[in-house]
Amino acid sequence: MDSYLKIATFLTPSMSLELYQVYQKFIEEKLSKGSILIVESRSLCEQTSTSDAESISASVFDIGFMSTKSYLKLKEKGANVELLPVGAVHEHRLNSDELPIYYSDLIIHKSTAKKYKQLEDLKGCKYAYNTQDSVSGYILPLLELKKKGYNSSFFSNMLESGSHLNSIKMVREQRVECASVDSNALKFYLKSYPHAHDDFIAISSLGPLPVQPIVVRSSLPTEIKEELADALLSLPTLPNYSKLFAEYGIRKFTKVDDEDYQAEMDIYKSIGQQSKTPAYY
């Protein structure tokens, strides 16, 4: 089993498991290596302490898909990880320049479209978010409110759903009026439930944010890391795989670096001491 590449995703269930199975198939074929796919729904950085961070990638993965925060936290803890300098370019109505980014989509139920046309119209509404450490689900919307002179008391109730998918379901079932969700999570949900397209409207898209990083074990042989990066960058020349990735909204891959991801940490810092306690109307 040691000769197998360990591929891990920490982005499910919000991101489609089937996408990472496509990655697995691609990696096996292009690197001519067998692999195992590890699926973990919990945030990686929340599972590790400073004492065991150095060995985490050796024991958990060779290639990992995770949130930007998890990657930056592991780097801070001295984990044996580094960025694969390649990022996915996802489809989004605002991403006409085909950059490695995603957005925080503020969604409402279509039946309320006449009432809620912009963020300011949602004052006093019930709002769902995935977790308080989520940039797209929680922090970026709070910063937008801060710019407009509000804080989290703008909403009558803020409900932690546990995942982007749960937030989407809460809007669909009209248990809340609105939610901010990862634009790719919304896309994957609508791929699984195409009949739900008519249930949602995104009244704004905040961002952009750097796309979730592909992370590799630092001690993975350099030739493997370079071969993987080159293979992903060559996607437009591979019709079969281009079609497979396109099914999940990925147009191509492009170069990225650590500076692209440090910008997200600046977002965390900018939230400051803004209140996270909602008011009730």
Euclidean distance between CA atoms 95 and 100, whole angstroms: 9
Per residue of the chain (281 residues), what is the pLDDT tens digit? 457 999 999 998 889 999 999 999 999 999 999 999 999 866 554 554 444 444 455 568 999 999 998 998 898 888 899 999 999 999 999 999 999 999 999 999 999 999 999 999 999 999 999 998 899 999 999 999 989 999 878 999 999 999 999 999 999 999 999 999 999 999 999 988 999 988 999 999 999 999 999 999 999 999 999 999 999 999 999 999 999 999 999 999 999 999 999 878 777 777 654 544 444 43
Do residues 204 and 248 share a domain? no
pLDDT in the model for residue 54: 44
- Look up the domain containing 30 and give its range: 5-90+211-258
Euclidean distance between CA atoms 176 and 167, whole angstroms: 9
Question: By three-state DSSP, how is residue 79 classified?
Answer: coil
Do residues 82 and 219 share a domain? yes
pLDDT in the model for residue 229: 98
Per the structure, the count of domains in the chain is 2
CATH number, domain with residue 115: 3.40.190.10
pLDDT in the model for residue 43: 59
Q: Of the candidates 174, 194, 203, 192, which has an alpha carbon nearest to the alpha carbon of residue 111? A: 174
Euclidean distance between CA atoms 279 and 157, whole angstroms: 7
Question: By three-state DSSP, how is residue 182 classified?
Answer: strand
Does any domain span residue 273?
no
Does any domain span residue 222?
yes
Euclidean distance between CA atoms 275 and 160, whole angstroms: 15
Does any domain span residue 265?
no
